Amino acid sequence: MKVLLSAYACEPNRGSEPGVGWHWALELASLGHDVWVITRESNKKNIEEAMVGYKNIDNLNFLYFELPTWAKWWKKGSRGIRLYYLLWQVGAYCAAKEAHSQLQFDRIHHVTFVSVRQPSFMGSFGVPFIFGPVGGGESAPLQLRIGYGLRGLLLDGIRDVANFIVKLDPFMWYTFYKAELIYVTSEQTRDLIPLRFRNKTRVQLAIGYEETNKNTYARSDSSNTFRVLYVGNFLYLKGMHLGLEAFAILCKQVPNAVLTMVGHGPEEKKWKELVEKLGIAHCVEWVSWVDQNELARIYKQHDVFLFPSLHDSGGMVVLEAMASGLPVVCLELGGPGVIVDKSCGEVINVKGNNQNMVIDDIAAALLRLQESSSLQNELSEGALDRVKYFGWKNLVKCIYNTNVRI
């Protein structure tokens, strides 16, 4: 099958959106499809350098399109990225139309941006069009935003308005109308799709785990300390204003518990002040951002991964933690709520629960794991088993081979 991928973001050796575009291209080509990728001209250098190492893949091709130099002013500092992206989509459509007249694609698939708020015009060529997986419809319950602070409340308010507009946006209606299938990363994002198009939707993650060696779990810390780990940007939406409160409750019953906070970001000062206020500074270790090899070592020094994010569409660190055999404690929201189930962690229900109830439930989940080594081992084995289903190869097959399901 001849497939055109629309991947505004597509770069090798990158995470987030660029990594999504790149892995979709590689995996589709490895399945034997004749793959063409339309992406930005600015990605060309990195792609061509990387393709030198993939000389055996002769069915992966790239088309490049870029807006005029003057248009790049719009996206400086992210001030106009939405408008820039919309203009790029218009130009990419024209470039793809010309390519389609010569190559006659069998299917066209939009993969990046991974956003339900951003349109694609690639469904106008009279061939099956797939939109997604896309996310962004996840929204933090209002009662859990209390610890955000003014900036977080404002940003989430803007996000709520943007998500509401999805149901009214004529560009998004056009995208949904033209799509044969719409893949979304969570039920919350599915709820943003207008009812008349919702029968086209399927829930499917946009991210995958890059499988390397066989996953194993062998904790490198032989002490009796119960070690909890958080990895990620220090952002209000990561929910650690809840996680720190829950850990403080755990510390009252398990004085030798330790929480390691790996990362950095605008909430660092606020979280450190909260730790002091809760009287748990002696139980919390702060580690600045580290490279991937060091992070792999850190995963294996801990017992549980705590990730109470309030609206992550994906959750790559959750997959990394599971691949290291860590049980995960997360909220039943967004990507982590899709990735984690009772076989590999504790998923905290938030529907109808206030902040104190959610904090207590997180603390109770941590305590259950601390008290039962057999439960830890069971969930650790479950994590190693479940993460296999989220490898990039299986993710792509889930959409291009109906016999495979997560």
Complete DSSP assignment for 346-396: EEE--TT--HHHHHHHHHHHHHHHHH-HHHHHHHHHHHHHHGGGGBHHHHH
Nearest Cα to Cα of residue 219 among 124, 299, 333: 299
The pLDDT value given to residue 322: 94
| Residue 406: pLDDT over 50 | no
User: Does residue 145 share a domain with residue 115?
Assistant: yes
Work out the mean pLDDT of the chain and round it to a whole number.
Answer: 88
CATH number at residue 153: 3.40.50.2000
- Domain assignment of residue 406, yes or no: no
Nearest Cα to Cα of residue 271 among 304, 235, 232, 314: 235
Q: Taking residues 368-378, what's their average pLDDT?
A: 93
CB 206 within 8 A of CB 20: yes
User: Does residue 95 share a domain with residue 22?
Assistant: yes
User: Does residue 231 share a domain with residue 201?
Assistant: no
349-365 residue pLDDT tens? 998 899 999 999 999 99
| Residue 276: pLDDT over 80 | yes
217-256 residue pLDDT tens? 556 555 688 999 999 999 999 999 999 999 999 999 999 9
Kindly provide the b/e burial profile for residues 255-290, where b requires at least 16 CB atoms within 10 angstroms of the residue's own CB: eebbbbbbbeeebbebbbebbeebebeebbebeeee
- Domain assignment of residue 217, yes or no: no
Domain that holds residue 186: 2-208+391-400
The pLDDT value given to residue 74: 63
Residue with tokens 């991964």: 305
User: Does residue 140 share a domain with residue 50?
Assistant: yes
Structure tokens at 162: 């943007």
User: Does residue 234 share a domain with residue 202?
Assistant: no
- Domain assignment of residue 216, yes or no: no
Size (the chain), residues: 406
Count of the separate structural domains present in the chain: 2
332-344 residue pLDDT tens? 998 898 899 999 9
User: Does residue 355 share a domain with residue 239?
Assistant: yes
